[in-house]
């Protein structure tokens, strides 16, 4: 069985003798005896109601559509296996009763411009924070909200706002290093003197970019270590004069540095992928990232290396990660908005205590192929669950 798109009529049809609908508004898929020449066939086995998943992305400054093309392709393949379709679109592509966008056809490995009814579910994969702050994104969000269409993954997470949410919960209070937003010289200096060693991070950063390890030495000098540089300042005042404009302009946080447990002499972190499944948040996959040349970040783009979780796995770790995932998902969805997918960066201190560093609402690709494969399968199933199909 297939359904097909007629480029001339900009509508959907089927050769099946049973009536079908497509999208949230149950747009009729018309039955015809033959397809016109300019048609796009999608080889799926549609049920009575064909699931349609909208993948919301954005445009670059040159107006070209951007986003994680590989993710979009793999999701289309999985969704088609489940008798549905997905369409990639931007906030500017929304009309009252339809959206225009781009649909991937795996048999030809090509993207095509199509027009579709309103989707059952919206998966937010807008790649830049500036787009999420735009009027067009806000209007798109309100449009789908007004129709009670599930909006999957509300927004990017701000590190300081995340800390504020987590610090008010008794379970997470003991897991997160003390953190402040860098706003004024005096409170920051007091915080620095209290902890002596801090991680300084951009609140809106990702992939380990812009992170520094700042150390206050006994002689009052300050050492600032980046991923590729080491700077020294004679005192806090000199350090503040040099950096305050950067910290204040881009919004930075200061976080107490922990003394991490080492494996083969290097720090390591857990990378935990979580999805909402059957009314709870389950762990889809766990990877280990270990620093190699520097101990500031374990991210692979910054020189980190990949280790299999089974190399450090224990029953205690399993129990902690399972509980952490479910609690984090419930808290985030209650306090910020629904997050059907997120990842957590967690670690262990030298004295054996668990700690969490980050929660990411739009996880990067996992290098472990088995985790990525399970991710696509889980997402496709979750979309159908949210669509009520």
CATH of the domain at 312: 3.30.470.20
**Is 26 in the same domain as 129?**
yes
**Is 184 in the same domain as 114?**
no
Query: Position of tokens 């309100």?
Result: 142
Predicted structure pTM score: 0.90
**Is 233 in the same domain as 313?**
no
pLDDT for 227? 74
Final residue in a domain of this structure, among 256, 286, 303: 256
Distance CA 55, CA 49 (A): 19
Cβ atoms within 10 Å, residue 225: 17
- pLDDT digits over 113-129, tens only? 999 999 999 999 998 88
Which residues, at least 6 apart from 265, have a Cβ–Cβ distance to it below 8 Å?
Answer: none
Q: With bands split at pLDDT 50, 70 and 90, how would you rate the model's confidence at 298?
A: low
Q: Say yes or no to pLDDT of 44 above 90.
A: no
CATH of the domain at 65: 3.40.50
Question: For a pLDDT cut of 90, what percent of the chain falls above it?
Answer: 66
Is there a domain that residue 386 lies in?
Answer: no
Final residue in a domain of this structure, among 200, 231, 256: 256
**Is 140 in the same domain as 70?**
yes
Is there a domain that residue 389 lies in?
Answer: no
Is there a domain that residue 292 lies in?
Answer: yes
**Is 129 in the same domain as 249?**
no
Q: H/E element holding 271?
A: strand 266-277
Average pLDDT of 286-307? 71
Is there a domain that residue 306 lies in?
Answer: yes
Give the CA distances from residue 365 to residues 17, 68, 90, 301, in Å, rounded to whole numbers and listed in that order: 41, 9, 21, 12
Is there a domain that residue 200 lies in?
Answer: yes
Q: Are 354 and 348 in contact (CB under 8 A)?
A: yes
> Residue 43 corresponds to which tokens in the numbers above?
């080889």
Is there a domain that residue 376 lies in?
Answer: no
**Is 27 in the same domain as 131?**
yes
**Is 135 in the same domain as 87?**
yes
Domain that holds residue 207: 179-256
Average pLDDT of 81-87? 93
154: left (phi over 0), alpha (psi -120 to 50) or beta: alpha
| DSSP states along 161-226 | HHHHHHHTSHHHHTTS--EEE---HHHHHHHHHHHSEEEEEETT--TTTT-EEEEE-TTS-EEEE-
Final residue in a domain of this structure, among 220, 240, 256: 256
**Is 171 in the same domain as 202?**
no
Average pLDDT of 333-350? 93
**Is 80 in the same domain as 118?**
yes
- pLDDT digits over 358-368, tens only? 999 998 889 89
**Is 61 in the same domain as 209?**
no
Is there a domain that residue 325 lies in?
Answer: yes
Question: For every residue of the chain, which 3-state class applies, written as one string?
Answer: CCEEEECCCCEEEECCCCCEEECCCCEEEEECCCCCCCEEEECCCCCCEECEEEEECEECCCCCEECCHHHHHHHHHHHHHCCCEEEEECHHHECCCEEEEEEEECCCCEEEEEEEECCCEEEECCCCHHHHCCHHHHHHHHHHHHCCCCEECCCCCCHHHHHHHHHCCHHHHCCCCCEEECCCHHHHHHHHHHHCEEEEEECCCCCCCCCEEEEECCCCCEEEECCCCEEEECCHHHHHHHHHHHHHHHCEEEEECCCECEECCEEEEEEEEEEEECCEEEEEEEEEEECCCCCCCCCHHHCCEEEEHHHCCCHHHHHHHHHHHHHHHHHHHHHCCCCCEEEEEEEEECCCCEEEEEEECCCCCCCCHHHHHHHHHHHHHHHHHHCCC
pLDDT for 207? 63
pLDDT for 388? 85
**Is 88 in the same domain as 100?**
yes
Is there a domain that residue 380 lies in?
Answer: no
- pLDDT digits over 201-241, tens only? 998 876 667 889 999 999 999 999 887 788 999 999 999 99
pLDDT for 296? 64
Tell me how many domains the chain contains: 3
Average pLDDT of 4-32? 86
- pLDDT digits over 259-285, tens only? 999 988 888 999 999 999 988 999 999
Distance CA 1, CA 18 (A): 11
Bridge partners (DSSP) listed for residue 87: 54
pLDDT for 297? 61
**Is 99 in the same domain as 213?**
no
pLDDT for 303? 57
pLDDT for 152? 86
Distance CA 384, CA 79 (A): 9
Average pLDDT of 235-249? 93
């Amino acid at each position: 069985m297939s359904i097909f798109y007629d480029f001339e009529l900009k509508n959907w049809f089927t050769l099946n003798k049973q009536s079908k609908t497509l999208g949230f508004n149950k747009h009729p898929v018309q039955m015809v005896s033959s397809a016109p020449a300019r048609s796009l066939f999608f080889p799926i086995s549609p049920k009575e109601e064909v699931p349609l998943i909208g993948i919301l992305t954005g445009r670059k400054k040159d107006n070209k559509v951007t986003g994680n093309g590989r993710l979009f392709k793999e999701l289309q393949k999985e969704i088609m296996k489940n008798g549905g379709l997905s369409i990639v679109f931007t906030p500017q592509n929304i009309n009252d009763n339809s959206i225009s966008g781009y649909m991937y056809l795996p048999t030809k490995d090509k993207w095509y411009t199509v027009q579709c009814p309103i989707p059952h579910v919206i998966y937010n994969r807008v790649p830049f924070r500036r787009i999420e702050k735009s009027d067009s994104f806000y209007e798109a969000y309100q449009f789908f909200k007004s129709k009670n269409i599930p909006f999957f993954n509300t927004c990017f997470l701000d590190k300081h706002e995340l800390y504020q949410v987590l610090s008010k919960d008794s379970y997470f209070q003991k897991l997160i290093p003390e953190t402040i937003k860098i706003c004024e010289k005096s409170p920051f200096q007091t915080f620095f003197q209290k902890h002596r060693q801090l991680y300084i991070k951009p609140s809106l950063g990702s992939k380990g970019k812009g992170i520094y390890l700042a150390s206050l030495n006994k002689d009052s000098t300050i050492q600032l270590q980046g991923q590729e540089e080491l700077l020294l300042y004679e005192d806090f005042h000199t350090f503040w004069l040099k950096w305050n404009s950067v910290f204040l302009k881009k919004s930075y946080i200061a976080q107490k540095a922990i003394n991490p447990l080492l494996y083969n002499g290097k720090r390591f972190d857990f990378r935990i992928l979580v999805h909402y499944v059957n009314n709870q948040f389950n762990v889809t996959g766990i990877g280990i990232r270990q620093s190699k040349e520097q101990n500031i970040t374990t991210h692979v783009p910054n020189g980190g290396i990949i280790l299999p979780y089974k190399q450090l796995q224990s029953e205690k770790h399993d129990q902690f990660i399972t509980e952490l995932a479910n609690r984090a998902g419930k808290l985030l969805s209650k306090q910020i908005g629904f997050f059907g997918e997120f990842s957590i960066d967690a670690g262990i201190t030298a004295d054996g205590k668990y700690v969490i560093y980050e929660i990411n609402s739009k996880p990067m690709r996992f290098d472990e192929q088995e985790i990525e494969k399970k991710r696509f399968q889980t997402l496709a199933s979750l979309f159908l669950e949210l669509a009520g199909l």
